[in-house]
Amino acid sequence: MKKLFPPLAALLLLSCSNPEKHASYDVVPLPNDVQLTSEAPFRLTTHTVVAYPEGNEVLEKDAAFLSEYIAQSMGGSATQPYTDPQKPEKAIVLAINPTIAHAEGYVLTVTPNRITIEGQTPAGVFYGIQTLRKSLPAVAQGADVLMPTAIIRDEPRFAYRGMMLDVCRHIFPLSFVKQYIDLLALHNMNTFHWHLSDDQGWRIEIKKYPRLTEVGAMRKHTVIGKNTGVYDNTPYGGFFTQEEAKEIVRYAAERHITVIPEIDMPGHMLAAMTAYPELGCTGGPYEVAGTWGIFDDVLCLGNPKTIEFLEGVMDEITEIFPSKLIHIGGDEAPRTRWKTCPKCQAFIKSHGLKADKHHTAEDRLQSYCMTTIENYLTTKGRRIIGWDEILEGDVAPDATVMSWRGMDGGIEAANLGHDVIMAPNTYCYFDYYQSLDVKNEPFGIGGYVPLEKVYSLEPVPASLPADKKKHILGAQANLWTEYIATPEHVEYMVLPRMAALSEVQWTQPEKKEYRSFAKRTMRLMELYQRDSLNYAKLIYNTLVEVKPDPVHKSVRVTMSNVDDAPIYYTLDGSEPTQSSAHYTEPILVNTNADLRVVTIRKNEKSKEATRHLLFNKATYHPIQLLTPPSQRYTFKGAPTLVDGITGEQSYTTGEWLGFINDDPVMVIDLGEPTEFCRVSTHALIDGSNWIMGCTGLTVAISNDNQTFTQVADKAFPAETEPRKTGIEHYDIDFDPATARYIKITVKATPALPKGHPSAGSRPFIFLDEVAVE
């Protein structure tokens, strides 16, 4: 049927009668090249149509998306897309341009009479649509939008731009999984990693093994809090049918997003083993886990039925999900059961799996599982992804490694020639807290990953040789949901951190700058607000950066906010007001201080930022650690303990040093014989993360750093509460002594207490400021 267009004069009359709002290309992620021109702007109205090439069904769908996006901003109904030959004079035109170099690149051209979005592929056009969408005011109902004339040339830095959602610990409605995918699309991401199996529930229908969802999808109860031993006594579960999963695949594909399923193996399989006990080393009975953590019961790899089971699951997974990559986990699989399982030990012997100085025979048993499933998937034209634990053995030859325990696993994998997805927990675990003010934040697993930390991620390590950098395919953030049970909580944990990640994934590093990003994110948050998303507003808080200044034997304090609003502070612990000191430049502090900082906008206060600064006779003096910290938690090393900056409520801030295996021992050089009578330190306690406190302090003194004489020793009760969190202060007083060198031994808790999931294992101890007075 022929489409009729309103007379041009009538459209112009209608447009001129409306108020005007202005578009801005300061979007997230930042395009690589924006060239503004001096021509009159394009006037976008509710009547502007979107045209697409005739017969191109994918761009027809993209055109419908753009019409809908415009309607969300400007009100009214989405205009019906037109085919290219029918387009009116003032239209938005989508087109394929094979001369564009990058498969996901686009060129967005705005002239007074037309907007054109071209891509080498429909995916590129779609990303141009996202840029146009985000350039509009979030709310422009009743107004025309003036689009500055410009040429925008853009393409992503990385080919893999992902987000993961765990639906095992807590499951979410199909409608919300779609909404989550919509968030990925908004942030220019192209991969949805769907975690579908774990100890706490099996979430995908497998027709060959119906008990996986009949039994394995339901747990009888869920622990309240962080493995408190108290349960809600409410059955919990659910699963996605194969048709529902296919619906998600289609929904994502329309938005140019690939769905990568994860079936975790050979660990994290309690739900499957509850359904089919013969798959475990002991034969059960097993129970779908109602607590969180790592469990000794894993798949029995000495049982031939186990590989048969896994291949049967993969048969159906590959029918549901067309992705080239299939995630098979490989993380957190204890070898405990395999060491005593007759079937596993017989298999190890019959297959000649040998230990060496780096790997046990049981490590090689896991490698056998990974390689067998990789080979099976290869016959179906697929490849595997695994967590970085798959490097602990003979890693499957064509495996892609997802590096989550920091960056080291990714570096090792890339040097071995494996492709890598960087997802380091200290940057990309969005179940970690966004603020150190955890009492006023929704529940999180722990840790600390603020917006600026996410933004600072550089996925390609500088230490990687140039010829290996090509193996870094991209980056991903993970949302584990032990403590995240509702869609609203999911939204809060990922927004706006997803925006920071998107710029890491898309924008070239030389164009990144945090303050610019923060201001652009404030515009993006207006869109979150319009769409009733439950996003974190911490970006409006005052950022306080405290750094040691050894030259001046001080602490340098820098304060900032995203909009340069007035900042006020006090150093004596009193409440800051507009009458307090007004921050104008970095300040140096060289004495004990309780810093309180606030931003005041239109007589409205932001949340306070607080820091405690501690100066004493040890501050900024040389310190030697005779016990090295754990490599993962060394951060800036020994000076951290005497820099005047007390650690806050997270072991990942870099303000604590983490020790394991041996009691921390340190020697402080006071420079000259000095009198003192008291030593103290602080320890962070976080039982859920295997961190316990101090059980004793010993002090010895010397004037030659060779012969030490003990002057004090004090014991402290070991922690008995397995899930305690907080910061504990430990001090020891003694008769005044005079010496240049002081040796301090901190006795760590020898074992995790009874009631802890890993009771009996040695915990970490995290220390900060050591004071000598």
3-state secondary structure 20-44: EEECCCCCCCCCCEEEECCCCCEEE
Cβ neighbors of 132 (< 8 A, separation 6 or more) are 66, 69, 92, 108, 115, 117
DSSP bridge pairs for 546: 557
Cβ neighbors of 533 (< 8 A, separation 6 or more) are 491, 495
Segment 489-545, tens digit of pLDDT: 999 999 999 999 999 999 999 999 999 999 999 999 999 999 999 999 999 999 999
Q: 250 pLDDT exceeds 50?
A: yes
pLDDT band at 3 (very low <50, low <70, confident <90, very high): very low
Q: Which tokens sit at 348?
A: 């190890």
Q: 751 pLDDT exceeds 60?
A: yes
Give the three-state DSSP class for 771.
strand
- For the question of residue 621 being annotated catalytic, the response is no
How many angstroms separate the Cα of 106 from the Cα of each of 31, 94, 126, 346, 504?
10, 11, 9, 58, 19
- Are 502 and 477 within 8 A, CB to CB? no
Q: Is 313 left (phi over 0), alpha (psi -120 to 50) or beta?
A: alpha
Residue 199 main-chain phi, psi, to 5 deg:
-60, -30
The pLDDT, as a whole number, for residue 411 is: 97
Percent of the chain with pLDDT over 70: 97
Angle at 704 between CA 702 and CA 706, to 5 degrees: 80
Helix H or strand E segment including 681: strand 665-686
Q: 16 pLDDT exceeds 90?
A: no
How many other β-carbons are positioned within 10 Å of the β-carbon of residue 532?
A: 8
Catalytic residue among 198, 297, 389, 491: 198
How many angstroms separate the Cα of 41 from the Cα of each of 16, 128, 179, 416, 520?
14, 18, 33, 53, 21
Q: Which tokens sit at 1?
A: 């049927």
pLDDT band at 81 (very low <50, low <70, confident <90, very high): confident
Q: Is 106 left (phi over 0), alpha (psi -120 to 50) or beta?
A: beta
pLDDT band at 17 (very low <50, low <70, confident <90, very high): low
Q: 9 pLDDT exceeds 50?
A: no
Q: Which tokens sit at 148?
A: 């500055």
Q: Look-up: residue for tokens 């297959």?
A: 351
Cβ neighbors of 39 (< 8 A, separation 6 or more) are 111, 112, 149
- Are 192 and 260 within 8 A, CB to CB? yes
Identity (one letter) of the amino acid at 486? Answer: T
Segment 336-387, tens digit of pLDDT: 999 999 999 999 999 999 999 889 999 999 999 999 999 999 999 999 999 9
- For the question of residue 643 being annotated catalytic, the response is no
The pLDDT, as a whole number, for residue 7 is: 45
Paired sense of beta strands 567-570 and 472-479, if any: unpaired
Q: Look-up: residue for tokens 């991620």?
A: 457
Residue 514 main-chain phi, psi, to 5 deg:
-65, -45
- For the question of residue 471 being annotated catalytic, the response is no
How many angstroms separate the Cα of 320 from the Cα of each of 58, 204, 249, 258?
21, 10, 8, 12
The pLDDT, as a whole number, for residue 6 is: 44
Task: Give the whole-angstrom CA distance, residue 658 versus residue 649.
Answer: 14
Task: Give the whole-angstrom CA distance, residue 87 versus residue 83.
Answer: 7
- Are 448 and 653 within 8 A, CB to CB? yes
Task: Give the whole-angstrom CA distance, residue 606 versus residue 597.
Answer: 9
Q: Which tokens sit at 167?
A: 């639906």
Alpha helices per DSSP H over 118-217: 122-135, 174-186, 211-214
**Of the listed ranges 14-28, 491-505, 597-611, 672-686, the one predicted with least confidence:** 14-28
The pLDDT, as a whole number, for residue 89 is: 82
Q: Look-up: residue for tokens 């004596």?
A: 572
Q: 15 pLDDT exceeds 60?
A: no
The pLDDT, as a whole number, for residue 676 is: 97
Catalytic residue among 187, 195, 268, 489: 268
Residue 759 main-chain phi, psi, to 5 deg:
-50, 135
pLDDT band at 258 (very low <50, low <70, confident <90, very high): very high
Which of 567, 572, 562 minimizes the C-alpha distance to 597?
A: 567
Q: 10 pLDDT exceeds 80?
A: no
Catalytic residue among 68, 244, 311, 332: 332
